[in-house]
Amino acid sequence: MVDMLKTRQCLLGVRTFLGVTSRLWSCFLYILRKHIRTIIQYQTVRYDILPFLYFCSDTVKRKILVLDLDETLIHSHHDGVLRPTVRPGTPPDFVLKVVIDKHPVRFFVHKRPHVDFFLEVVSQWYELVVFTASMEIYGSAVADKLDNNKGILKRRYYRQHCTLDSGSYIKDLSVVHDDLSSIVILDNSPGAYRSHPDNAIPIKSWFSDPSDTALLNLLPMLDALR
């Protein structure tokens, strides 16, 4: 009887030890993934930024670069998603808590690699405008985080500014500016800009690839277009 009690206590101790070890290992892996992801995404990048030529800087107005959010600059998923496209355990860049239809919802937001550097550079070339088909309460919160109090994403348009056609939201660029020759839109969804295909720069949808360089690859072209 004494031996059985000792055996049970021993097994209980082993289970407790394994449980604690498992939690510590999970915590270690979470922190390690976060640091590796940060190193990969925000490695030092250099791009030489040249100003406008002195003789045209006062006469040429800045063009407008319209930016989509979801799957273009960021990717997010919210509470209750059964199959998130992001690998489980990948830490989000930030978490948003918004109230939709009187229900609190948490969004776990992942920034596309190099998005901060991209915005910093193109904000010196273009007037930046956010145009998302998402609800304003969510889109505004995401834009605030990306802007980070820099004042580069002041103009914003949301779902209510889109045109609903056959179940999809179309972005009418004429609501941004009446001179369409001065507008370029960066969006991962061709359906969103189908009214203005000549103004669009397509970009591959992004969900979780930490080695993605699509935003960096666009800088030379956007530099030339400005």
**The residue type at 89:** G
Active-site hit among 48, 58, 70, 209:
70
Residue that the structure tokens 């020759």 belong to: 181
Residue 44 phi/psi, 5° resolution? Answer: -65, 125
Active-site hit among 58, 68, 147, 178:
68
Is 68 a catalytic site residue? Answer: yes
Alpha carbon distance 27, 84 (integer Å): 20
Alpha carbon distance 143, 116 (integer Å): 12
Burial 132-160 (b: 16+ CB within 10 A, else e): bbbeeebbbbbbeebbeeeebbeebbbee
What are the distances in angstroms from CA 56 to CA 49, 51, 84? Answer: 16, 10, 48
Is 70 a catalytic site residue? Answer: yes
Active site positions, annotated? 68, 70
